[in-house]
Amino acid sequence: TVKFKVKNPEKHGLPANTYFLAWTTTPWTLPGNVALAVGSDIDYVVRRETETTHVISSEKRAGQMLTQTFEKKIKGKDLVGIEYEPPFDYYVNDTSLKNRENGWKVYAADFVTAEDGTGIAHEAPAFGADDWELLKKENLPFVQHVNGDGTMKPEVTAFAGMEVKPRSDDDSVRLGTDIAVLKYLQEHGALFSKENITHSYPHCWRCDTPLLNYATSSWFVAVTEIKDNLLKNAKAISWSPAHIKEGRWGNWLAGARDWSISRQRFWASVIPLWKDEKGDTIVIGSVDELKAHTKKSGNTYFVMRHGEADLNVKGCINGVANESNELTARGKAQVEESAKKLSGKGVGYIYASPLRRARDTAAIMARALGLDQDHIIFDERLSENRFGDMEGMQIDTYEKVYSRLADKMTTTPRGAEAWRDAKRRLMSVLYELEGKHADTRILIVSHDGPIQMLEAGARGYTSEESGAAIEDHRFAAQLAEVRELVFVPLPHDEDYELDLHRPYIDDVVLVGDDGAELTRVPDVLDTWFDSGSMPYG
């Protein structure tokens, strides 16, 4: 039970140093207090607490709580409008707070009873449905002293950063913030009494984490704007059974309200809305639109397969270091010819596989493009796929190991590397380059399989889609072939497959037409949105 000091008590016929007594089971909400609520027809009494202080509570509760001298009886309606000093003044003096002039006063509310507590309710509208309704009715200031992650905001200096409802089986942790608030109240003379009460509290059914009743914005489908058309079309539909038309279904449509479709939780389909600094909303309706607005480095990427090497001539596979597997004369000529295609393109860096045939190719390309050794970087992640015990095998024999070429994506016969794993290491390079360089033209020298995986990864292909690409050879790279790799960073999972869900979508930065960064609406769609949309359709 907390003491709220009456301001200017003499104006209301009250003794000096009079306090309202309000009872709460959630001490962590007290810094967000903006009002006290009483029942208009409830009888309240003023009693002497000490020689110099007086307290106000419901008559019923006062008889249970206090043995002090009775002073006077007051109807709840006569307390309305009295101002008080809250135990926490973090927001009282905030001149920018909307409706501040209506805050920290007593109001009448139908939901207040004398059955529990003191008959005086502490109002923190950001954390309770009844409190919120009172805020709307009386134009109270809105104070939300808790962040969306459940921690106290910085301005609540005594408790900044503390979790208001931590998940723990240890009472000292679980109730730690409430206990800290009580200690503060006691030290500042604002705690009237305390008691242990067992009461229900909402928890997440999945993970048992305590939940917060937390006021937040919501997105709606404006059903009321289309309701007349819905009713009109419903009448033209043949219904089976027929009574549903004017019965359950018809009644439901007639009473349809705007539909709240957003939720503040982590797992769900994100709402594809982004806002600019002016508050204008941009709706992203496709992956192509997402790509168009994705913030880019300005880099241009080229991929190139090495020129012909000795083991290519022999038809053998080679995925490990082999210094004897160097470029043939024909292979060197192939690379020289390909270099002409990039002449004048302004290539600034070459990133290459460290295998001999790729190193030789990178060296020839660097000379032809006027790049010094400092601009050639060898990266093990760009190496050929590993073939395990099949190393050195004839290509034709190797291909027959797989019942389908698409199986290369996920299977690992005889210790071979799955192409899905190769895609992970290759795409990690590409995303790394995207963050490391800006407005740079980059040549990546690698091998046929890795280039195929770069192409698939750049498109956000699933394993199935990547396997289909292997099967039909759509990204196969010829010896010394060079081509541009079109790449836009996409939200992706650990396999670099396109995933528009959280947390992956959180890593994507979008920009508007003016180049300014956009902020995604953090809400997600209600699980029932898909199925609920069908009857409206």
pLDDT of res. 263? 87
One-letter amino acid at 478 equals Q
Q: Give a yes or no: residue 293 inside a domain.
A: no
Number of domains in the chain: 3
pLDDT of 61 > 70? The answer is no
Q: For residue 491, is it within any domain?
A: no
Task: Tell me the per-residue pLDDT of 488-509, one tens digit each, with 9 for 90 and over.
Answer: 999 999 999 999 998 999 999 9
One domain for residues 120 and 62: yes
> With bands split at pLDDT 50, 70 and 90, how would you rate the model's confidence at 529?
confident
In this structure, the answer to whether residues 252 and 355 fall within a common structural domain is no
Using CA atoms, how far apart are residues 264 and 214, in angstroms rounded to an integer? 10
Interior angle at CA 428, CA 486 and CA 273, nearest 5: 65
For the purposes of burial, counting CB atoms within 10 Å of the CB of 501, is it exposed (0-12), middle (13-18) or buried (19 or more)? middle
Q: Are residues 469 and 334 in the same domain?
A: yes
As to burial, measured by CB atoms within 10 angstroms (0-12 exposed, 13-18 middle, 19+ buried), residue 245 is middle
> Over the chain, what is the mean pLDDT?
94
Domain presence at residue 424: yes
In a domain, 517, yes or no: no
Range of the domain at 475: 300-485
Note the pTM of the prediction, 2 decimals: 0.71
What integer pLDDT is reported at residue 209 of this predicted model? 86
Nearest residue to 135 (alpha-carbon basis) of 125, 146, 127, 120:
125
Asked whether residue 513 is domain-assigned, the answer is no
Give the distance from CA 515 to its chain's centroid: 23
Residues 14 and 98 in one domain: yes
Q: Are 418 and 334 within one domain?
A: yes
Q: Is the pLDDT of residue 66 over 70?
A: no
Residue 56's DSSP bridge partners are 20, 46
Q: Is residue 170 part of a domain?
A: yes
The first and second tokens of residue 204, run together, are 């997440």
**306 & 452 share domain:** yes
Binning pLDDT at 50, 70 and 90, where does residue 326 land?
very high
Largest CA distance in the chain: 109
Task: Give yes or no: residues 30 and 104 share one domain.
Answer: yes
Q: Vertex 326, ends 325 and 332: CA angle to 5°?
A: 145
- Give the model's pLDDT for residue 24: 93
d(CA 46, CA 265) in angstroms, rounded, equals 46
Does residue 264 share a domain with residue 129? no
Residues 393 and 258 in one domain: no
Report pLDDT for 208.
Answer: 85
Residue 406: inside a domain, yes or no?
A: yes
Q: What's the rounded mean pLDDT across residues 513-527?
A: 92
Domain CATH for 122: 3.90.740.10
Mean pLDDT of 246-261: 85
Q: What is the pLDDT of residue 528?
A: 83
Interatomic CA distance for residues 211 and 204, integer angstroms? 6
Clarify whether residues 237 and 174 are in a common domain: no
Q: Which of 454, 470, 485 is the last residue of a domain?
A: 485
**Domain assignment of residue 284, yes or no:** no
Is the per-residue pLDDT at 393 higher than 80?
yes
Does position 522 have pLDDT exceeding 90, yes or no?
no
The predicted pLDDT at position 64 comes to 57
For residues 250-262, give the mean pLDDT.
Answer: 87
* pLDDT at residue 418, rounded to an integer: 98
pLDDT of 67 higher than 80: no
- What is the pLDDT at residue 448? 99
Residues 107 and 221 in one domain: no
Counting residues of the chain whose pLDDT is more than 90, the rounded percentage is: 78
- Mean pLDDT comparison of 72-76, 134-138, 498-502, highest-scoring range: 134-138
pLDDT greater than 60 at residue 401: yes
pLDDT band of 52, cuts 50, 70, 90: confident
Q: How far apart are CA 533 and CA 170, in angstroms?
A: 44
CA distance 23 to 36: 11
Q: What is the mean pLDDT of residues 195-205?
A: 82
- In the prediction, which pLDDT does 115 show? 85
Residue 472 class from Cβ within 10 Å (0-12 exposed, 13-18 middle, 19+ buried)? exposed
CATH number reported for the structural domain that contains residue 310 in this entry = 3.40.50.1240
Domain match, 221 and 349 both: no
Q: Looking at residue 200, what is its pLDDT?
A: 84
pLDDT of residue 256: 86
- pLDDT for position 536: 73
